A and B are shown apart, each in its own frame.
Chain A
Amino acid sequence: MVRDGRRRERLRWSKLYSFSCIKPSVVLDTEAPNSLSGPGFSRLVHCNQPKAHTKKSLNYPSNYISTTKYNIITFLPKAIFEQFRRVANLYFLLTAILSLTPVAPFSAVSMIAPLAFVIGLSMAKEALEDWRRFVQDMKVNARKVGVHKGDGRFGYKHWHKIRVGNVVKVEKDHFFPADLLLLSSSYEDGICYVETMNLDGETNLKVKRSLEITLPLDEDEAFRDFTATIRCEDPNPDLYTFVGNFEYDRQVYALDPNQILLRDSKLRNTSYVYGAVIFTGHDSKVMQNATKSPSKRSRIERKMDRIIYILFTLLVLMSLLSSICFAARTDLEMPDWWYLQPENTTNLYDPSKPTTSGIFHLVTALILYGYLIPISLYVSIEVVKVLQAMFINHDLHMYDGDTGIPAEARTSNLNEELGQVHTILSDKTGTLTCNQMDFLKCSIAGVTYGLRASEVEIAAAKQMASTFPDENSINHYLLENNGGDFESAEIELDGGITFAVEKARKTMIKGFSFEDDRLMQGNWTKEPNAATILMFFRILSLCHTAIPELNKQTGGISYEAESPDEGAFLVAAREFGFEFCKRTQSSVLVRERYSLPEKPVEREFKILNLLEFSSKRKRMSVIVRDEAGQIVLLCKGADSIIFDRLSKNGRMYEDDTTKHLNEYGEAGLRTLALAYRELEESEYTTWNIEFLKAKTTIGPDREAQLERLSDWIERELILVGATAVEDKLQKGVPQCIDKLAQAGLKIWVLTGDKMETAINIGFACSLLRQGMKQICLSTTNSDLTSEDAKKALLLSLANDQAAKENILMQITNASQMVKLEKDPYAAFALIIDGKTLTVALEDDIKNQLLNLAIDCASVICCRVSPKQKALVTRLVREGTGKTTLAIGDGANDVGMIQEADIGVGISGVEGMQAVMASDFSISQFRFLERLLVVHGHWCYKRIAQMICYFFYKNIAFGLTIFYFEAYTGFSGQSIYDDWYMLLFNVVLTSLPVISLGVFEQDVSSEVCLQFPALYQQGPRNLFFDWYRIFGWMGNGLYTSIMIFFLNTNIFNDQAFRAGGQTADMAAVGTTMFTCIIWAVNVQIMLTMSHFTWIQHVFVWVSIAAWYLFLAGYGMSSPLISGNNYKILLEALGPAPVYWAVTLLVTAACNTPYLAHISFQRARNPHDHHVIQEIKYYKKDAEDQHMWRRESSKARQETKIGLTARVDAKIRQLRGKLQKKVSSLSIRTAR
């Protein structure tokens, strides 16, 4: 069975292929081996002798990979070190250590306990995250692969057990476990197909080819006695180079990248390959490429650090001030304070040494006023962010039922950054599109077939329908008023599409969404141009390089094609009744069925030549001999190329086809033109002799010769028609882009695809539309370099300079054009290709490029390398200084994802690299809308408010301690009990602020989505600007003053109870603390706008906890509670003054804020205020028209997206209408 399968696949592609990477076999043997010398080329691999690599000098690392930050031993020291890299934590550590000395104003436990709690929590989080990475690594390490175990037997081994020198057998659709030297494959000529999506994001398959000499090693048995030696370069991160020699049978052969299979790429279309392991584990190229993911911090957190520095400065100033005062008083007054026994003091209070005492006091003061720095801020933020991340992970609206993957916040420290995004840089394949092609429409003999609309048209129609619910009335109106004079074709589009929308899609055949009864079920035979249609189907079924694969379960045939387009064509041909069923070395078998009841006829076509596709040629052809003996050249390719090569009588359908191609293009479809040519036997023979000669030529002009010959035969073509394939967008992509654009986000597309494809997708996503001015930047003379390598080398310097000037000129011209544009509706799109980008990204012109790009509504970069993606991202991030978000799915997006402020990975596709490098992963692009507009918006506001409140509360508390110092001779005594201080941040005020950070919603998620303009509050940073921050700090200052001075004045010297008792320090301190608890908790209630039971519970529990604690503390042994023994129940509780002061101070502290926000809301309401009010009075339900109108207005001015497209359409219609009306009126006036 196995051997049968093998026979079937024993194709020698090299006989068919003419170009691509396959060199004629003769070349190899004579080619001189690479000279390997010098550093960097020291690696020696003994193939099939893994034991040889246990010796010292050749003991290369194993194939075990680890991406974790810590291991069990290093975790504790490393994680602790990480924690104390935060300045605030280091400060708290110092204070904790100092608290063990008499310098400290507080007891040691009250300093150490909160710190331990905070650090412990953060470390637990680190450990959890690292554990996840470890599990991921383990999964990879535990993958299995067949390894030669000796005596020609192969057995499965875990990846991590593979050593350098092993011979492995990799099966189809499996990943290569390490960097391998390809020895042989299931194909006779040792080629194999490799998918390198994880490395460079390219989806088309690449062909690798083994050395001729190792071809016989194509069976397990053959490896019994196989030994060879590889000398090659040392591990390096360059994916596209490899230099090495292969010594076998005392001969040396040169190795090049063609023989190297890289780890994490995948074997496709090939049953199996044998390979020798060269680089393992972290030596492999892909791992060498892995950069440490940078730790990213959000804008808010960076600003928060700055605030903390400000507070530190304040702290130091306050400490200095109080130390100077202390030293002065100690020096001047303390000798008189006999009750302190100044003559018997230690250094801390020695009046004879005021400087020393002052310095000691400085340390004390730094600890004492430390409450200004919120110790629990970091940990609270961490807790809040983890909970926010939990909400993101659990959001059912971001759960993809098809793949079963929910969204995931992989790092929680960027949640609020999601609310401040300015530019989105998106990958195309796999992100915007599914990389699945659907045959949708075709144009044959000048007639367009295929009724189904592309997704973008449907989306636009829907948008139109929702904007104008009575859209038909518009059409009617237009038609009536013009008495049918109006060109109805203009409106036809909309009506037709709405029809298509309503029509439910039939059961899907993958790759085929064509719907037109004229061609299906053999009906095409009744069409007028049946012969042309037949030729069209023949081209579809013959002109390709795919291999059919029989599905044993269903009996159907699936195709393994080099590109998904080709697969779609074959599926389409099958559905039309031309089923490609078998390929042999020299022929293709097609089952043709002209009409349904007929039995299919199996026809064999001899494949004479195959001129395969390359990005330069932009076409492919096959030359076949049909059963009648007629030789035909069948060709498909880019329309521009094909149209150039048509014969005079082959241009019959050119005009119609061109029109159709334009239509397809605007609908975002990928188009190819099909043509054929009938060849005379003699003509073919002459050509073939020449061609074979060229194929076997050795030397540099081989390529050029082949090119010339193919050019010779691929001409005088007859146009048949064109195909339109939909590069299937992911679900909801156009709508999502529309919403994001309305939220004021800029969207750039960076793709490795060619320009045409990128433009198609631009149309499909509504990033481009008809009427948009496209600025294409490209290098003009790029072909020259490849044509003549030698000349290019000489000219390259001059060329570079010229190219640069050329590009600079293009940019300047374009900028000029944009600036001079007067029409407010004019939109520009910048399309730039990778080659141009290499030049344009150079330091001296990149800013001009950026300025131009910023002026353009949409930017599309095509043919960009992963590195360039990262560079473009950096350019945007650094150039604009705004938050960037990069989204992608493949390993080629990793650089971009890491470079951007936020990286989002699309999960659910095969490769995990993008997801592993990302900060957030979602399974569909459309979830980005909710992630940003809902979660981002919420998280931003939550964190911003939370941080502001934190500073407020700690300033309010910390300053009271400072004021009190002035009354104690700056001695460093705190008015509060140590326990109060300990509990303040950790227990008494932490829960409400966490509930603010986790649950606050200014408006509901639906409103966020309906009013995308609200998102702009984030990028404009309305809630964390300095004005607001200082406002909150001022509020804290005010509160502290109120609390302290009201209390001290009331408790000044008088009795505070009817029983005549005066208040001691414990009573004053406790009352003051009660006031603080009330003031800050009432404050947070005023800050919140959304109260679920959780907020209520947290706030009230915090206040209640204080009284409970006080009662409990008072009841504990007086040895613990000291002067606070029974303070609440005996001393304060029964005193009316205590309660009166609490009420007074709370009111005095909070009324100004209340007045402020009431006034703000009354005079300058924010949008969310108004919306809250609308919702509160349920006006949205009463006046739905108003609600809809406002939500459609609530968007940023944008020139991209569906809505803009619809607007443009409306403008166009209006323009026409007005012209008509005016011309009518002129006519009637006459």
Chain B
Amino acid sequence: MNCIVDSDIGSSSSSGDAAVALTRKPRRPKYSKFTQQELPACKPILNPQWVISVFTLIGIVFVPIGVASLLASNGVVEIVDQYETACVPRNMTNDKVAYIQNADIDKTCTRLIKVPRDMHQPIYVYYQLDNFYQNHRRYVKSRNDAQLRNSKEANETRYCDPERTTEDGSPIVPCGLIAWSFFNDTYRFTRGDQKLTVNKKGISWKSDRDHKFGKNVYPKNFQNGTLIGGGKLNADIPLNEQEDLIVWMRIAALPIFRKLYGKIELDLKENDTILVTLKNNYNTYIFNGKKKLVLSTTSWLGGKNDFLGLAYLTVGGLCFFLAVAFTLVYMIKSRKLGDPSDLSWNRDSSGADYELFRDFTSSIDS
């Protein structure tokens, strides 16, 4: 049906009509399944079988993982020794800060630790700091990766404020607060007469050693200023071999953190007593930070961590519960899927204008 008004009254055609005609040329959209929104599609629906099996499946997968995690966690032997208070001489417990800041006092301290269970090598030695904000924004930013990587860019000390240069303006390598506050407690272990060597090689990421810390970059002007932070570095060893620093410079996410100190590559027996000789140099007293020494074995999941296993068991268990709950829901108040009587117009009988229809058809049928 043609509905153009007056299309054939008046046969004269003219430039004006031509312009209109130009816009009138058929603009039939091209057919494609895409433009017509008719692409084949998968339209899954949440039917009971699907829901129950999904929850069951999650349960089936999660519970074993949880059990495995817990087992792995239980297999890990861990010794934690908190020493920051114990290492303060009795006469100075009231003024720990004075103690730690007094360079003249010998900071050596000995601790005895007992091995609760057999520990198989490698045994990892960690130090743990509490209440230390490595993740503070001021702290996180205060480093320069370019300088650490390449000796030629030693002058590159951007972002390193306030630990950029010495007073005479020569650059500090490694610059920045992170390096400046380098942890410097040291530990030595002996079992009876036997000295337990701590292997400090390979405690950092290989990529850090190979690519982030240059092998021809040597510490320069480090801890030379008036304000001494943490530990000093041996200026003759290139940065990529200073693994303690590399580990320290991997800032922790949370204010309680552990960092790897080294590995003891010997098995320890149950009830072995280990004498730890430590140098208690690092000042955590001023901010009430704790210091702990940790010896731990690992499993395939890493350290002792029950939380992962428990979380898995909880989620898995809840899913089993949901599976059961839904089975009950579907059983007790079963709704046949695709039953038209569940449509809203069938549910509220009041709005059935079409009663009429049914009456009528039934009156015919009878």
Contact = CB atoms under 8 A, between A and B. Distances in A.
Nearest to A1047: B253
A1060 B354 contact: no
Contacts of B255: 967-969
A1144 B62 CA distance: 8
Interface in A646-683: none
B91 interface: no
B177 A341 contact: yes
B28 A404 contact: yes
A396 B211 contact: no
A394 B312 contact: no
A298 B284 CA distance: 59
Q: Which of A345, A390, A1143 has the most CB of B within 10 A?
A: A1143
Contacts of B354: 1192-1193
A1092 B326 contact: no
Interface stretch (B165-173, B231-239, B314-322): B314-322
Contacts of A910: 5, 20
A1170 B339 contact: yes
Interface in B77-111: none
B174 to A, nearest CB: 14
Interface in B56-93: 58, 62, 65, 69
A197 B5 CA distance: 11
Contacts of A174: 14, 16
A1055 B15 contact: no
A27 interface: no
Interface in A916-931: 924
B345 A1055 contact: no
Contacts of A175: 16
Contacts of A975: 135, 253
A1028 interface: no
B157 interface: no
Interface stretch (A118-126, A181-189, A226-234, A1172-1180): A1172-1180
Interface in A448-482: 467, 473-474, 477
Contacts of A1193: 343, 345-346, 352, 354
B3 A968 contact: no
A139 B21 CA distance: 12
A1055 B296 contact: yes
A1089 B227 contact: no
Nearest to A430: B5
B299 interface: yes
Contacts of B353: 1197, 1207
Contacts of B35: 390-391, 394-395
A473 B365 CA distance: 11
B45 A1151 contact: no
Interface string B317-352: 011001000100110010101111011111000011
A1158 B326 contact: yes
Contacts of A1065: 134-135, 140, 251-253
A835 interface: no
B211 A1118 contact: yes
Interface residues of B, number: 133
Interface string A324-358: 00000000010011111100111011000000000
B335 A1162 contact: yes
A1089 B46 CA distance: 10
A1001 B205 contact: no
Contacts of A969: 133, 136, 255
Interface stretch (B112-120, B190-198, B216-224, B257-265): B257-265
A1055 B256 CA distance: 13
Q: Which of A1137, A1167, A1193 has the most CB of B within 10 A?
A: A1193
Contacts of B155: none
A1174 B260 CA distance: 61
Contacts of B10: 172-173, 268, 549, 558, 560
Contact of A1158 (B1, B16, B46, B283): B46
Given A1057-B302, A1155-B322, A396 B29 contact: yes
Contacts of A474: 364
Interface string A421-451: 0000000001000111000000000000000
Given A730-B3, A1058-B300, A1167-B343, A1137 B136 contact: no
Contacts of A142: 19
Interface in B138-182: 138-140, 145-146, 149, 161-163, 177, 180-181
B251 A1064 contact: yes
Contacts of B339: 1170
A349 B296 CA distance: 38
B1 A731 contact: yes
A1119 B148 CA distance: 10
A396 B287 contact: no
A798 interface: no
Given A395-B29, A1064-B252, A1046 B338 contact: no
A1134 to B, nearest CB: 11
A108 B312 CA distance: 40
Nearest to B32: A394
Contacts of B139: 339-340
B8 A510 contact: yes
A402 interface: yes
A1159 B136 CA distance: 45
A941 to B, nearest CB: 13
A1167 B163 CA distance: 67
Contacts of B362: none
Contacts of A1005: 37
Given A971-B136, A1057-B298, A336 B41 contact: no
Contact of B342 (A173, A1089, A1165): A1165
B137 A971 contact: yes
B133 A403 contact: no
A1163 B329 contact: yes
B286 A338 contact: yes
B144 to A, nearest CB: 10
Nearest to B229: A339
Interface stretch (A772-780, A848-856, A1125-1133): A1125-1133
Interface in A1086-1118: 1089-1094, 1118
A1167 B351 CA distance: 15
A225 B58 CA distance: 97
A306 interface: no
Contacts of A74: none
Interface in B280-298: 283, 286-288, 296, 298
Given A390-B35, A967-B255, A1167-B344, A436 B42 contact: no
B37 A999 contact: yes
B278 interface: no
Contacts of B305: 1050, 1052, 1054, 1137
A59 interface: no
A1170 B270 CA distance: 66
A1210 B363 CA distance: 13
A1059 interface: yes
A1068 interface: yes
Given A396-B31, A404-B24, A967-B254, A336 B286 contact: yes
15 contacts: A338-B181, A390-B35, A394-B36, A728-B1, A730-B1, A968-B136, A1049-B311, A1050-B311, A1052-B305, A1060-B122, A1089-B44, A1091-B43, A1094-B39, A1162-B330, A1170-B342
Given A142-B19, A339-B139, 8 more contacts: A144-B16, A395-B35, A728-B1, A971-B137, A1050-B311, A1058-B302, A1136-B300, A1166-B344
Interface of B: 1-5, 8-12, 14-17, 19-20, 23-31, 35-37, 39-48, 51, 54-55, 58, 62, 65, 69, 122, 124, 126, 128, 132-140, 145-146, 149, 161-163, 177, 180-181, 203, 205-208, 211-212, 227, 229-230, 250-260, 263, 283, 286-288, 296, 298-305, 307-308, 311-312, 315, 318-319, 322, 326, 329-330, 333, 335, 337-340, 342-346, 351-354, 356-357, 360, 363-364
List 3 A-B pairs, minimum CB-CB distance, nearest first. Answer: A404-B26, A1054-B303, A1173-B338
